[in-house]
Copies of this chain bind each other. A is one copy, B any other.
Amino acid sequence: MNVVPVVDQIIERNGGKVSEVYYVACGGSLVDMYVSDFFVRTESTGVTSGWYTANEFVHATPKRLSPTSVVVLCSHSGNTPETVAAAALAREAGAQTVGLTYNKEAKLLDESDYSFVYEWGDETRVHNNPMAIMLDLTVNLIDKLEGYPHIEAFRKGMAIIDTVVANAEKQVEPRTKEFASKYQDETMFYVLASGASYGHAYGFSICSLMEMQWLDAAPIHSGEFFHGPFEVTDEDTPFIVAKGLGRTRALDDRVLEFLGKYAKKVEVVDAKELGLDLIDDAVNEYFNPILFYSVLSKYRYALSVVRDHDLDVRRYMGKVAY
């Protein structure tokens, strides 16, 4: 999808003034926003950002929220009550709201100044997934406001990410089956990542393992591992490390060196080995999560097959009152 017209309108409405972007959603949609928040925090000098689970944004709303704020909201169904409430509240504060959903009839659309109704499914090209749309919007927004020196490299990356991911998915498939076979009886996984990828350590834990497989899981930031968490390491504990490209790769390497000595159950998903280095070094770290989402989805699928636990089975979500 072409994000540029929306970026232009956002900037125009406030005479060029955007003070912060809030990324507000729940669960998997919030995960998809992590990289955009990370991009603003890391690359912008004039705009700040915040990453909020929707109900916290609603109950403890930042005082900064104002007409110069942009609030990006995403909900697959488009009717997640907390996210719709956050959008309404943001609008009431005069902020500009950008809503993303799969559902053309979503309530979220009623509260969105700008909206993206995305497609979904195995056949969809990843650059049209909500994660990529939000990242594209964010990078273009920062570029238009203050200039992003690597905008051309980023655009080239967006142009080839579908191909990179499709190749990586093929490449990883045999490994996902080995993984599933080896780990089918495990009940607890630690998932590690750093930088822009950390969101997917969180996402793979809470969505793929906890929600879809009813398995225990915990994300750990690679930089935090040596400051507490690593004391659980032993030969029986499984670790999945999403080893990204970019500036924080050294943090993941350090984790892997340690695990190589003291753990036996370690699965490495390496963005470089999977071909993400086809994208320019100046920007490829921001594409890590797009690659990891697709590749880790293959892992969860393989696990679901071996465990005979369908990815769509829920016992509470949408079934009981909560």
Chain A residues at the B interface, C-beta cutoff of 8 Å: 20, 26-28, 30, 41-45, 48, 50, 53-56, 59-64, 66, 80, 82, 188, 194-195, 205-207, 210-212, 214-221, 223-224, 226-233, 237, 246-248, 250-251, 254, 257-258, 261-262, 285, 314-317, 320, 322
**What CA separation (Å) do A262 and B44 show in the bound complex?**
45
**What CA separation (Å) do A248 and B205 show in the bound complex?**
24
**What CA separation (Å) do A56 and B197 show in the bound complex?**
12
A56 touches B317 (CB 8 A): no
Q: Please name the residue on chain B nearest to A194 by beta carbon.
A: B56
A248 touches B56 (CB 8 A): yes
- Answer whether A228 and B250 are a contact pair too, CB < 8 Å, given A48-B48, A188-B216: no
Does more than half of chain A's interface fall in helix, strand or loop, or is it mixed?
Answer: mixed
**What CA separation (Å) do A294 and B102 show in the bound complex?**
45
Q: Which of B26, B230, B246, B251 contacts A322 (CB 8 A)?
A: B230
A56 contacts across to B, CB distance below 8 A: 194-195, 221, 223, 248, 251
B41 touches A316 (CB 8 A): no
| Most central of A50, A54, A64 by chain B CB within 10 Å | A64
A194 contacts across to B, CB distance below 8 A: 56
- Answer whether A210 and B228 are a contact pair too, CB < 8 Å, given A60-B195, A216-B218, A250-B59: yes
B223 touches A254 (CB 8 A): no
A211 touches B224 (CB 8 A): no
A221 touches B322 (CB 8 A): no
A224 touches B188 (CB 8 A): no
**What CA separation (Å) do A227 and B205 show in the bound complex?**
12
5 A-B pairs whose Cβ atoms sit less than 8 Å apart in the complex = A26-B227, A218-B218, A231-B314, A257-B322, A262-B316
A63 touches B42 (CB 8 A): yes
A220 contacts across to B, CB distance below 8 A: 206
